[in-house]
Amino acid sequence: MKVSKQKFGLLCDGTKVNLYTVKNDNMSFSCTEYGATLTSIVLNNKDGSKTDVLLGFSTLEGYLNTKYCFGAIVGRFANRIGKASFVLNGKKYSLDKNDGPNTLHGGFDGYDKMLWKGKSIKGKNFCGVKFSRMSPDGEQGFPGNVKLEVTYLLDTKNNLTCFYTAESDAPTPINITNHAYFNLAGKGNIGKHTMQMNSSNILEVSPKLIPTGKLTEVAGTPFDFTKEKEIGKDIAEVGSGYDHCYVTEMYNPDKIRTSVPLDDSDLVEFCTVKEPTLGHEMSVFTNMEGCQFYTGNFIKGILGKNGSLYQNHDAFCLETQAFPDTPNHADFPTCILEPGQKMKAKTIYSFK
Q: List active site positions.
A: 179, 319
d(CA 337, CA 166): 8
SS3 30: strand
d(CA 323, CA 336): 12
Q: Residues near 341 by Cβ (< 8 Å), separated by ≥ 6?
A: 167, 168, 259, 260, 262
Beta-carbon count within 10 A of 255 CB: 8
Radius of gyration of the chain (CA): 19
Question: In 3D, which of 34, 260, 244, 61 has the Cα closest to residue 129?
Answer: 34
DSSP 74-143: E-SB-SEEGGGEEEETTEEEE----BTTBEETTSSS-GGGSBPEEEEEE-SSEEEEEEEEEE-TTGGG--
CA of 47: how far to CAs of 50, 51, 213, 273, 279, in Å?
9, 11, 49, 21, 11
Which phi and psi angles does 131 have, rounded to 5°? -110, 145
User: What's the gap between Cα 113 and its chain centre?
Assistant: 15
d(CA 314, CA 317): 10
Residue 15's H or E segment, with its range, is: none
d(CA 20, CA 76): 24
